[in-house]
């Protein structure tokens, strides 16, 4: 079955059916003598950024791509860099893996995008992918830090959380050393996601940039075995735990330890290490998230070999041998079934990946719960017994109701459990909070252990992007700890935001004296009169925008190669292609710049009092495009009504 979604209905009409009350602007204009409200210029966080676990300045790099924000100019009057590089540098202030995340992130930013209220979200992920590819092609690198603080930080785990933390610490001038038990850095990006989704040359390029700014790595080194935790505490000024949750969870049924019942992490690690060359004829995957889709699509590609020994596959997954069985035998497709306790439309996996899996001939069956294992005389599983169920989350807890009399057996040669991951605390037991995780505060410092921070899946298994955000926030906390400063409360919204003062410096404008709060100030040139930055606490919703400004514009989608049951076998080529440059620019232009001026001139054109004016060109910059002459302003609200982005809001009298 195919997964279909209804197109979004157009939603930008100012009046609804049956609304007969006419709002006349003239009535507001002719009041004319006084007003207790005047326009204020409010910078807010757009919902794309508010939904991004890494806190990327999405609106910022889309503004650069569309040409609203220009790269800084050099002394010769020419841009110091191409717009693509400027956008990439803005993006990587938060996330050093744009090319990887542009491929595999399920893009919660796009779900949050206010453009969904018009027709369809902006292709944020595809623009990120384009910028990441540009940087690799043009061999862009990060500027090495100008200062060296002399402080040293140990990073346990070289996955997305550890690499992100090390990257941010290095930029702040600290010496970061990553300790990882694997042969290569990357964590779940390398060992948990198949190479046809994250090409290894792309991952290697983005990791190498981090190493190039001075981050050190000690590989094949396990803390608690090769190096003690006490040694780290003696040799380093702070410690970050980012070892992830790379131990899989077994099925919660009896006899789940049969030799041909394995976890998703073991399966994918064996495949990514090159040990696993084929699977059995019938594979059952239990899950429903992105990892289960990865397992199912890998199994479909590997296929099976008729004359192979069943133990070859099991030994390869266990890591005790590398089988090179009978490549002389032609591979045949594997029958892959994926079961989930949720119905297909409620599964947590990326909807696009579900569609691809279905197209490849993988049977996805929702609403089924595993209840027993059927074993043969040799102790190996021959079938998985399942029953129909109803699953729902009540008060944060999963409740599963199994329906009696609906049991059935699904025959199998291999069962893969992809129902979650667990942290291996061997040698690090002191950090286990008793629930198989680590407890931290809002700065990701471990309770009762000053100077020891943590992030990523060992706090709560989630997205790769979430781990990147944890690493970045923890790096800020570590930086303050090393400076012997109090760890301040985190802002309500953790994002890397547009910095007006920095933009003014880039343009060579002199910044006057500033003070907080910025409301009501008319004695500084740091912003327009009555400017306020609410980005740390306010996400602007679509009902604060003037959606009527935006015409229906279809989203430009990346080319995706869809395989079928026959062509998937043995096909480990990448399926997704980046946008062409012209398409990336066009897609960026669909961004509505929620919460920030994008220089449309509506407020200037529609103001009846000529009170809203453009900032003189030599003083103007991004975010400082217009100002209000309050001697002329009568508070008629028209500028706020016609502002597409919600940047102009009425205030002062409230």
Q: Confirm if 635 and 35 have CB atoms less than 8 A apart.
A: yes
**Helices marked H in 153-223 — which ranges?**
160-171, 188-191, 200-212
Q: Confirm if 145 and 213 have CB atoms less than 8 A apart.
A: yes
Q: What is the pLDDT of residue 426?
A: 85
Residue 474 — φ and ψ, nearest 5°? -60, -35
DSSP 3-state assignment of 604? helix
Which CATH code fits 248-420? 3.50.50.60
Q: Confirm if 301 and 261 have CB atoms less than 8 A apart.
A: no
Q: Confirm if 293 and 267 have CB atoms less than 8 A apart.
A: no
Residue 61 — φ and ψ, nearest 5°? -75, -25
Strand-pair partners of 254: none
Residue 52 CA to residue 494 CA, distance in Å, equals 9
Identify the H or E element spanning 66. helix 58-66
Q: Which long-range contacts (CB under 8 A, 24 or more apart) does 193-196 make?
A: 193/104, 193/268, 193/294, 194/268, 194/271, 194/272, 194/294, 194/297, 194/298, 194/572, 195/272, 195/572, 196/301, 196/571, 196/572, 196/573, 196/574, 196/575
Which stretches in the chain have pLDDT values below 70?
1-36, 319-330, 498, 511-529, 652-654
Residue 49 CA to residue 537 CA, distance in Å, equals 12
Centroid of chain to Cα 359:
26
Q: Do domains 152-245+423-482 and 248-420 have the same CATH topology?
A: yes
Q: What is the pLDDT of residue 465?
A: 95
Q: Which of 497, 553, 534, 503 is nearest to 646 (CA)?
A: 534
Identify the H or E element spanning 540. none
Q: Which is it for the CA torsion 353, 354, 355, 360, positive or negative?
A: positive
Identify the H or E element spanning 366. strand 363-366
Per residue in 576-605, pLDDT (tens digit) is 999 999 999 999 999 999 999 999 999 999
Q: Confirm if 371 and 341 have CB atoms less than 8 A apart.
A: no
Q: Which of 37, 60, 59 is nearest to 47 (CA)?
A: 59
Q: What is the pLDDT of residue 1?
A: 45
Strand-pair partners of 393: 398
Residue 146 CA to residue 208 CA, distance in Å, equals 19
DSSP assignment string, 516-530: S--TT--S-SSSSTT
Largest pairwise CA distance in the chain: 93
Which CATH code fits 152-245+423-482? 3.50.50.60
Q: What is the pLDDT of residue 27?
A: 54
- Peptide bond between residue 517 and the one before it cis (omega within 30 degrees of 0): yes
DSSP 3-state assignment of 566? coil
Q: Confirm if 157 and 243 have CB atoms less than 8 A apart.
A: yes
pTM: 0.89
Task: Quote the Cα angle for 484-443-53, to 5°.
Answer: 140
The residues spanned by each domain of the chain are 25-63+497-651, 152-245+423-482, 248-420
DSSP assignment string, 245-307: --EEPPPSSTTTT-TTEEEHHHHHHHHHTT------SEEEEEE-SHHHHHHHHHHHHH-B-TT
Sort 178 into a burial class: Cβ within 10 Å, 0-12 / 13-18 / 19+. Answer: buried
């Amino acid at each position: 079955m195919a997964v279909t979604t209804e197109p979004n209905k157009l939603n930008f009409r100012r009046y609804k059916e049956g609304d007969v009350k006419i709002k006349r602007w003239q009535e507001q204009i002719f009041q004319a003598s006084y007003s207790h409200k005047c326009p204020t210029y409010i910078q807010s966080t757009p919902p794309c950024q508010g939904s991004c676990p890494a806190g990327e300045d999405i609106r910022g790099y889309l503004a650069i791509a569309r040409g609203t924000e220009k790269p800084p100019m050099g002394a010769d009057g020419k841009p110091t860099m191409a717009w693509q590089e400027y956008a990439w540098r803005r993006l990587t202030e938060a996330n050093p893996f744009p090319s990887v995340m542009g491929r595999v992130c399920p893009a919660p930013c796009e779900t949050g995008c206010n453009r969904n209220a018009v027709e369809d979200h902006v292709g944020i992920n595809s623009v990120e992918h384009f910028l990441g590819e540009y940087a690799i092609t043009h061999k862009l690198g990060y500027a090495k830090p100008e200062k060296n603080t002399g402080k040293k930080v140990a990073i346990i785990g070289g996955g997305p959380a550890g690499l992100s933390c090390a990257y941010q610490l290095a930029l702040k001038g600290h010496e970061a050393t990553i300790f990882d038990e694997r042969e290569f850095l990357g964590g779940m990006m390398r060992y948990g996601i198949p190479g046809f989704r994250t090409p290894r040359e792309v991952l290697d390029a983005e990791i190498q940039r981090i190493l190039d700014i001075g981050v050190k790595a000690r590989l094949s080194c396990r803390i608690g075995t090769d190096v003690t935790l006490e040694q780290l505490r003696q040799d380093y000024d702070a410690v970050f735990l980012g070892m992830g949750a790379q131990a899989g969870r077994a099925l919660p049924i009896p006899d789940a330890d049969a030799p041909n019942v394995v976890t998703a992490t073991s399966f994918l690690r064996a495949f990514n290490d090159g040990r696993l060359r084929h699977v059995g004829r019938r594979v059952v995957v239990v899950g429903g998230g992105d990892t289960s889709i990865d397992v199912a699509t890998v199994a479909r590609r590997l296929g099976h070999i008729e004359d192979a020994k069943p133990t070859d596959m099991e030994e390869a997954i266990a890591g005790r041998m590398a089988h090179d069985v009978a490549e002389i035998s032609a591979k045949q497709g594997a029958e892959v079934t994926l079961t989930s306790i949720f119905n297909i439309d409620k599964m947590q996996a990326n909807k696009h990946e579900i569609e691809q899996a279905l197209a490849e001939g993988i049977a996805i069956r929702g609403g089924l719960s595993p209840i027993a294992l059927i074993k043969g005389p040799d102790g190996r599983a021959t079938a998985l017994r399942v029953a129909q169920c109803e699953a729902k989350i009540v008060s944060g807890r999963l409740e599963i109701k199994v329906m009696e009399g609906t049991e059935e057996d699904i025959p199998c040669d291999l069962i893969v459990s992809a129902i979650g991951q667990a942290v291996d605390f061997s040698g690090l037991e002191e950090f286990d909070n008793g629930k198989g995780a680590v407890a931290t505060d809002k700065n990701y410092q471990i309770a009762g252990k000053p100077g020891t921070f943590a992030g990523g899946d060992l706090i709560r298994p989630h997205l790769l992007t979430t781990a990147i955000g944890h690493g970045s926030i923890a790096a800020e906390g570590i930086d303050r700890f090393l400076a012997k400063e109090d760890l301040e409360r985190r802002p309500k919204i953790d994002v890397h935001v547009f910095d007006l003062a920095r933009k003014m410096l880039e343009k060579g404008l002199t910044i006057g004296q500033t003070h907080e709060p910025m409301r009501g100030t008319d004695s500084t040139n740091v912003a327009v009169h009555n400017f306020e930055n609410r980005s740390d606490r306010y996400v602007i919703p679509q009902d604060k925008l003037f959606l009527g400004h935006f015409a229906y514009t279809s989203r430009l989608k990346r080319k995706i190669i869809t395989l079928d049951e026959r062509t998937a076998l043995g096909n480990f080529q990448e399926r997704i292609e980046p946008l062409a440059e012209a398409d990336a620019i066009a897609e960026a232009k669909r961004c509505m710049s929620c919460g920030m001026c994008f220089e449309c001139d509506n407020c200037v054109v529609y103001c009846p009092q000529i009170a809203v004016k453009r900032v003189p060109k030599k003083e103007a910059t991004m975010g400082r495009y217009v100002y209000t002459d309050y001697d002329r302003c009568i508070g008629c609200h028209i500028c706020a009504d016609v502002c597409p982005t919600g940047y102009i809001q009425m205030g002062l009298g409230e």
